[in-house]
Structure 1
Amino acid sequence: MQYRSFLPLSRRFLLRALLGAAAAPAPFAALAGFNFFTSEYTATREELQAQIAKRFPVQQRYAEIFTVGLRDPQLGLDARANRAAITAVLSIASPLLRPSTVEGVVSVSSALKYDAPARALRLDQPKAERLELQGVTGRDAERLQQIGAVVAQELLRDQPLRTFTAEELTVGRKTYEIGDITVQQDGIKVALL
């Protein structure tokens, strides 16, 4: 006698798919960092780095005399302080400078916030922690470092690290909101509410 299931074919298929998924986690890898079972999303460092790189280079004028630019950003994550950092190549150009462009490196650390209307995880109140310029010393270096720090902070203020689509935050009839933000060593985890 042959065993026959009394479950309809669609339910048997669904049951097999769910049981098979438990044995092979690969299908869930397609869901990126969303874990609706634990109500959280984790953005990896690589994902965040790719998103940041798309928004650079950036530049801004300062006092109608200087043009400050940032390029080649690198993301850093500080789990202990729950902060993200961006280190970038900084350039300051002005006809008053000899040579007319000075380059260096700036590191800016920042808390994080969620902007609900834009569905974006953003830098919040970035602060220049380190700024080094090449080929400039003395009072000129101090002034240029102050200008570079102020403009770098302004350029990075509210910079999005990750923007979510409405579809990503919707499962069935439930639309999730972003809650607590936790910086980890290799990514940023957000609670889904």
Structure 2
Amino acid sequence: MHIRPSLTHPPRRRVLRALLGAAALQAPFAALAGFNFFTSEYTATRDELQAQIAKRFPVAERYAEIFMVGLRDPQLGLNAQDNRAAITATLTIASPLLAASPVQGIVSVSSALRYDAAARALRLDQPKAERLELQGVEGRDAERLQRVGAVVAQELLQGQVLRSFTADELTVGRKTYEIGDITVQDNGIKVQLK
């Protein structure tokens, strides 16, 4: 008895070949998680960005030759509504002029974002201190130290890299992409590939 193959179900070999071909086509893109070359976008997740920025801390800078201001333990926040990123960090201010030195606190800085084509890096741009709280200091001393802490935190975060790209990441076949528009989302940052 001879059984004819069903016309409604393609032979298994043809289905298997099609599946393997599709997997092979996607293989070059699998290593580039976050890149979607079909929609010309790259999305960096909040966790990926948090891991990148944590590697660049702690940071510190001297101010007016009498204060040493440091930032550590950064936490990244994303504000899709304002298209801004935010860094909240532990702040330390040390000075021989302070009775209780160092002074500890928390600072939150929000920032626009820009792409630095020469360094292939997504950077903070024009950060602004939104909140600064110090522990154990009151009155005029607190006001002065808050001003110092805000100014230095903004300087330390200006140009801070959130994500850098390699030339290989931005090249597919013979096409090398540039980064275009930057969009902050609630759970990541999306950039246009052009």
TM-score normalised to structure 2 length: 0.88
- Hey, what does 2:52 align to over in structure 1? 51
SS at match of 1:145: helix
> Does the alignment pair 1:190 with 2:181?
no
Deviates more, 1:26-35 or 1:64-73: 26-35
- Distance in 1 (CA, whole Å) between partners of 2:65 and 2:95 is 9
Percentage of identical aligned residues = 78
Q: Label 1:175 to 1:20 Cα distance change in 2 as closer, same or farther (>3 A).
A: closer
Instruction: Report deviation, 1:30.
Output: 3.6
Instruction: Report deviation, 1:38.
Output: 0.3
Whether contact under 8 Å (2:94, 2:103) holds in the other structure is: yes
**Amino acid in the other structure paired with 2:175:** K
- Distance in 2 (CA, whole Å) between partners of 1:13 and 1:67 is 65
> Does the alignment pair 1:132 with 2:125?
no
**Structure 2 unaligned regions, length at least 5:** 6-14
- Distance in 2 (CA, whole Å) between partners of 1:171 and 1:156 is 32
SS at match of 1:52: helix
TM-score normalised to structure 1 length: 0.88
Q: Label 1:83 to 1:160 Cα distance change in 2 as closer, same or farther (>3 A).
A: same
- Runs of 4+ aligned structure 1 residues displaced above 2 Å come to 12-22, 25-31
Instruction: Report deviation, 1:27.
Output: 8.7
- Hey, what does 1:142 align to over in structure 2? 143
SS at match of 2:131: strand
* Number of aligned residue pairs: 182
Find the structure with the greater CA-based Rg: 2
Alignment of 1:171-186 (within 5 A): 171-186=172-187
Q: Label 1:55 to 1:183 Cα distance change in 2 as closer, same or farther (>3 A).
A: same
- Distance in 1 (CA, whole Å) between partners of 2:131 and 2:75 is 14
**Structure 1 unaligned regions, length at least 5:** 4-11
- Hey, what does 1:170 align to over in structure 2? 171
Alignment of 1:6-155 (within 5 A): 15-20=18-23, 30-155=31-156
